[in-house]
Amino acid sequence: MKSFLIAGLLLLQAFAAEAQLAPLFKSLDQNRKGPFSVNVLQGSRSRINVLDGLPSGTLQFQAAYRNDIGLALANGEDFYVGNLFTTNYYELMGEYVYGDARSSHDLNHEGLLSVAPLAMPKAGSMVRHWVLEKHYIHQFQNSALSRAFRIRGISGVEFEQEYAKYFLNFFLTSMEEESQFLAAWLLAKGSPLSDSASLERARNSIAALYDNAKAANGANDNKTRRLYQLRNAIHNQLSQSVIGQIDAFLRDYPKAGEVEALREIRGILVAYYSVSAKRIADAAKKMGEAQIQALAEAIAKNGSDAASNLKLSELVANLRTRLTQPGVIPYARKTDGLVVLMTASQFLNKELLSLKSVKSLEPLKTVMNLIYIEGFLIKDNWEYFSSEINAASGPAAAAAQLPDIVGISSDTLVQAFSPALDQWIQVEPKMNYFIDNTIKSSALNTASVLAQKIK
């Protein structure tokens, strides 16, 4: 009887939390700046409105902190919106190093590292909600939250770039479990450190164009069918030929309402397919990864093939392992290592997707390493599936492992974003597409495409 009462009380508490969260989130619509307060200049000794002069002490950054609604969501519901690298990192340091989240203080990175066990529960929650918030604003671009991030002065890019390194260096050094790497990876992809999140933006944009055309003109309209073909190509069978398909659409429909958005999508895809091994070499040189640098330079000079791509993925997977092992890579170099991983991932995914057919195990071994590099598999699972693929009699037998790999990877993704994803689904049921959309923008999608090209 007692256990039933406890279960009932827990259920009532869950309903009560949901009842408070949804209307509080909805109230963001009533504020022009959504979760943000006024833009301020943060100094080491004071914080001042941007229109009121300069703060005392050393200037730290310009940004907008969370307003009362944003604070109520964060402090009352453990639900973080209005996430910025500047304010999140500075508030973590204020709370756990200086004893006041709203304080004005000097930067003390070592001090925050020394109290990491205390700060990481909040930092982990921030990161989970941060990634989900980014997904939300990309999916719902007319929402109050999305509009708020487009307001001038919310945070300067130069400050976000600097504080992104601070935050991610801290987070990667202080991770409490390996599955947290996936959340850090997805956050970094959408950060000023990387432009790889642009591919997700292209997918979201073409999906919105098709949905709008279908609603306005019906599914059988010629232009709508062309947009449907473009959407499927970008979502499911992405290759460089999609750029030519967009060009053909623009020639056939030069005055269509979708022209401007399609030109933006085209620009994203051109940039995506322009990523080169030279960029990997540059990032590896900065990191001091001589083997990766040398191989990337050789690929840049001579071109890539299945063997060189596999070797590069092995070296980068090794860096990924070292990046998550305590004390192996210095705190201040963690983000540099992450940039090497992101650049190599973008290059190798592009190379694999451009293959006309798969006739050997090498591409499947490469994509297996990429799935691990991106954080969708923890080390033990990666080593197990890699051994299975290595032992396979051929590509078809190796591809038979894919359903299990996708299943385990999906579980890792769900674990990495629990319980935050459930909260976001409460405020917007369509956020349940987060898992599927994230997988489609990852090496898991590349693996699926390769499986269809096996000869």
Tell me whether residue 262 is exposed, middle or buried, using C-beta atoms within 10 angstroms of its C-beta: 0 to 12, 13 to 18, 19 or more. Answer: buried
Residue 232: the pLDDT is 82
Residue 100: the pLDDT is 98
Q: Which residues, at least 6 apart from 10, have a Cβ–Cβ distance to it below 8 Å?
A: none
Task: Give the whole-angstrom CA distance, residue 212 versus residue 265.
Answer: 16
Helix (H, G, I), strand (E, B) or coil at 37: strand
Residue 15: the pLDDT is 46
pTM for this predicted structure: 0.85
What is the DSSP code string of 279-316?
Answer: HHHHHHHHHT-HHHHHHHHHHHHH---HHHHHHHHHHH
How many CA atoms are closer than 13 Å to the CA of 240, on its beta-carbon side?
Answer: 13
Fill in the amino acid letter for 126. Answer: M
Residue 185: the pLDDT is 97
- Consecutive 10-residue averages of pLDDT for the chain (455 residues): 48 55 95 94 96 94 97 98 98 99 98 98 98 93 88 83 96 95 95 68 86 92 91 73 88 88 88 85 96 98 97 99 95 96 96 95 98 98 97 96 95 97 98 95 95 93
